[in-house]
Amino acid sequence: MLVKVLVGAAALAMVQGPPSPTFCERMAPTIDMIAVERGRQGNATGEWRRDTATLGMALVGGIAATSISIRPISETTTYAEATALVDKACATTKAGVRCRFEGPVRLKMGTRKGEIDMAAQPGERAEVEIRGTKIFCRDPRAFKDA
């Protein structure tokens, strides 16, 4: 009986397949973000990080600028609706800006490492934060308190 249950569970797992990657999991490779792990087991926290500063900037000086923009995907969205979406999703923090959003929206970000132009699928949630020279992307399990 136990063998049948185990075989049935394994068959169900194969039918379901692996989970779809999250917004942050899809965004991370585009600008070489690294997963933040905590604890002895190296458990993933749902948070990714990238520091855009370089050693040369630290030694000689320089500027690292990052831009971010969030837009609705719908072609019928009015300017007022688009402005309301950004006002609701993004807020300034002491050290930068934090945008928490739920798809469908389009995120555009420009960094020294390249440009990101990604769509969040309907119902997909993420939080992107720019703090100084650091960029963070968080899945819902790693959201900071707003």
Tens digits of per-residue pLDDT, 58-112? 566 666 678 888 988 887 888 888 888 888 999 999 989 999 999 899 999 988 7
Q: Predicted confidence band at 138 (pLDDT cuts at 50, 70, 90)?
A: very high
pLDDT of residue 23: 93
DSSP annotation string for 23-69:
HHHHHGGGGT-EEEEETTTTEEEEEEEEE---HHHHHH------EEE
* Residue 62 pLDDT: 62
Query: Which residues are CB-neighbours of 96 under 8 A, at least 6 positions away?
Result: 129, 130, 131, 132
Task: Find the farthest-apart pair of alpha carbons in the chain and give their distance in angstroms, rounded.
Answer: 69
User: At a CB cut-off of 8 Å and minimum separation 6, what does 124 contact?
Assistant: 22, 23, 102, 103
Q: What is the pLDDT of residue 14?
A: 52
Query: pLDDT for 3-58, tens place per residue?
Result: 444 444 444 445 566 778 899 999 999 888 998 877 556 566 889 999 887 665 55
Per domain, the residue ranges of the chain are 20-142
The pLDDT, as a whole number, for residue 137 is 93
User: What token pair was written down for 76?
Assistant: 């019928």
pLDDT at 2: 46
